[in-house]
Amino acid sequence: MSIREANSEDFDAIWPIFNEIVRAGKTYAYPTNTTKEQAYKIWIETPKKTYVYEEDGNIFGTYFLKTNQAGPGEHVCNCGYMVSSLARGRGLATAMCEHSQEVAKELGYKAMQFNFVASNNEDAVRLWKKLDFETVGCLPKAFNHPTEGYIDAFVLYKWL
Amino acid sequence: MSIREANSEDFDAIWPIFNEIVRAGKTYAYPTNTTKEQAYKIWIETPKKTYVYEEDGNIFGTYFLKTNQAGPGEHVCNCGYMVSSLARGRGLATAMCEHSQEVAKELGYKAMQFNFVASNNEDAVRLWKKLDFETVGCLPKAFNHPTEGYIDAFVLYKWL
């Protein structure tokens, strides 16, 4: 397996992963009807870097890295990770998160922040905590979950 | 005085206020060398609404309102307020913040969030708390202050 920088041709393999996750509306702050064109802008064009997790020529995961706040906040980055439902539970998110922290440090970032983690996304919260992220904020009823309604969202943070 | 929606011609009066505040680097997450063209995009084009505080034909304050997170977060808005140094201490920020909460409710938002308040910006923190905003997060060393170095930033939140 390898984690390598994505190129624009990879997006045809990224899109089914993105679409499945975003349409479910349970984890990401994108509209559930985000189009492929909008997703390309979000995942490939806007971030500073985009990576894919590849095994035997198949893409099973992807993440982006970008600056979280400009100016006085530009030393803190933000990442988003997605794993195909075909490859869950095999450590891909852990591998990508560890990889992204190394990339962030190489790019000169000093910290990483996740802005909007649904409080019922227990797998993600457990994973980030295992990787020494700290819950530094709780946004009351900020996440409109498709089955749970308005639930809290967490802000997670790690000084690298 | 009146608080009214901004139009594109107002930007020549907004720019000196924006530029003075952003160049100081003490409060807003924009690069200190943000150009007038970039500021126009940030303050006028990108937000859902932009307002100005006008007295006798002079603009002394301005704010924007936008959606803070899309999709499952789209019921929470974000605002930024700026007051000219010529008009500080006269309640303009309070007036604009109260106005923005009414606008937000009219637009269907259910909550308002400030993502990145420098922890040493005591006037702002006192004001938001007076207006029933709650500190829901503290981002360690996330704000690179021009004289204080890396200081914490607060996340403030109010259900409307």
Using one digit for the tens of pLDDT, what is the confidence trace for A42-81? 999 999 999 999 999 999 999 999 999 999 999 999 999 9
Q: What is the pLDDT of residues B20-55, one digit of tens each?
A: 999 999 999 999 999 999 999 999 999 999 999 999
Q: What is d(CA A37, CA A34) in angstroms, rounded to the nearest whole number?
A: 8
Q: What is d(CA B2, CA A6) in angstroms, rounded to the nearest whole number?
A: 51
pLDDT at B1 over 90: no
Q: What is the 3-state secondary structure (H, E, C) of B73-105?
A: HCCEEEEEEEECHHHCCCCHHHHHHHHHHHHHH
Average pLDDT of chain B, as a whole number:
97
Residue from the list A71, A116, A140 with its beta carbon closest to the beta carbon of B31: A71
ipTM: 0.95
Q: What is the pLDDT of residues B70-108, one digit of tens each?
A: 999 999 999 999 999 999 889 999 999 999 999 999 999
Residues in chain B closer than 8 A to A134 (CB atoms): 140
pLDDT value of residue A101: 98
Is the dihedral angle over the CA atoms A142, A145, A150, A156 positive or is it negative?
Answer: negative
Residues in chain A closer than 8 A to B111 (CB atoms): 140-142
**A1: confidence class by pLDDT, cuts 50, 70, 90:** confident
Q: Is A60's Cβ below 8 Å from some Cβ in B?
A: no
Q: What is d(CA B25, CA B21) in angstroms, rounded to the nearest whole number?
A: 7
